[in-house]
Structure 1
Amino acid sequence: MKYLKIRWLCLLIFTLFLVLWYSHVTRTGDGVVDLGLRGYERIPSSETSDFRYLALHCGRCAVVSSSGHMRGSGRGIEIDGHDCVIRMNAAPTWGFQGDVGNRTSVRVVSHTSVPHLLRHEDVFFRHEADTLYVVWGPERNMRQDGKGRVFNTLVKLTRKYPHAHIYTVSREKVLYCDRVFQDETGKNRMKSGAFLSTGFFTMILAMEVCDSIDVYGMMDGSYCSVANHTSVPYHYYENYRLDECGMYRVHERAKRGGHRFVTEKSIYKRWASQGKLRFPYPTWSPLQQA
């Protein structure tokens, strides 16, 4: 009997030790989780020899769309005032600071936009050296067996810029995002012939790391169906492409390879009704009728 009591006491002490140790190694003084978010894996360099998960927590976040609605917004200072600023792909800040701000905490980047980063790598990996890059793409481009073309490019980048913070979205995380899309829409993303947009991966990430999210430049899904809607460029930094609504219509109707921008926006509207998302510019409410 005495032996059993000693055994249970030792087990209790050992369990308490494990709890205290886990609390120490997984949290820093400001509440950041060191072990990070599963599904976002850092590419190792000479400065980071092992894969590490994304360790990020933000209070107020600004998610800045690349939409032409950002032109003339004058929201740059307001955007920079957030704890974290999340941008997409290679959307530039230089020359547009007054409208989109200057700070960049995170860039969520499509595999198709990696070449755009390379064209201005000095800006992205020297001038914005503290930015976290989260790159998503299909398995064929992101595989880590030497045959993933985009993954191989990212590895070379980390060797060239060993202090760069480059993460990839794991295959499991991509499948998780597919499940979220299907749960929200009732549609199988692959069977519908669509690809999730960078905006969708960005919103998923923001929902995971931010306490509150202000989304800039994103109109609701019904905007393009309004007869007198304003025509804006698809990207605020381009003049020569289809306008935004024209691009949305092309993608929404595409049988293969398109993004379902309008469908995704209806999902964001439902998430906004839960109170974590706001749309301060252009201002609209999730309670507006779709």
Structure 2
Amino acid sequence: MIFQRMKGMIATKKISPLFIKASLVFCLGIGVCSPVAAGKTAINLLAGGSVIEFGDNEKHIVFPPESFRTDSFNVSGHPIDFAPAIGISYDVDIDSAYRDIRYLFHSVSLGINAYYNQTSRDGIVLQYGLPDFANSTYNMKVSSSRLMLDTELDFRPLWEGIMLFIEVGAGAARNTLSFENNPLPNVGADGGFYSLSKNPQIQFAYEAGAGIKVPICHNLVLSARYLYANSGNAESSKYDYSTGVTLGKPIKVKIESQSVLVGLSYLFG
């Protein structure tokens, strides 16, 4: 009876097309946002290799305006550095009653993870940015600690519980940068040795990645993932109090990392 009345209302255009579309979206939403089974808390340990990129290769060392001097240096190479992480998450399986061909996903998790990245680079400093004045070398150390709110969405198992997943996250990063300039031997370089200490910065960070999960037993899951992260900027101080060297502004770099991590998760319950 109800469906016959609705059919008549549609035929007489008493129900607008917008209302019909909204109803369809609501009905589909019942399936997507269906009740879920009880979840499990998981402890996650991850470790692997990470490559940190610094945006544009050429960086500048800006001295006070009255010195009319800006040096430059290049950041090159792609060293792979150790990258650990630890976190806790809550994993929830989507109700099996809705796992039909229309739905691709098996489970979803929300977690808080802490990551650490660090690297060291060195090279030649060009006074005034001129190749003829390659009078010193530098050593730059950069680190980034991220605290992230991450979401993982697991696809339906491929075989024997093996699942692909995607991951996105946002949070905060604490970045540091130290910089040391060393004149080459027998070169009377103006503004010789100086060492700029760390100037910690709190920056917005985001990340995205994908990977695969392999169940080992009832409570252990092995994973491997690729993870891209943008951690904002890191910068040095402007002063070396021991030598009296002062810059016009800090040395600043943008931190982006690409990591391959292997993880082990223990599920409680």
Common fold, TM-score beyond 0.5? no
Which structure has more helix as a fraction of its residues?
Answer: 1
Range class of TM-score, shorter chain: under 0.3
Larger Rg over CA atoms: 2
Using structure 2 for the length normalisation, give the TM-score: 0.23
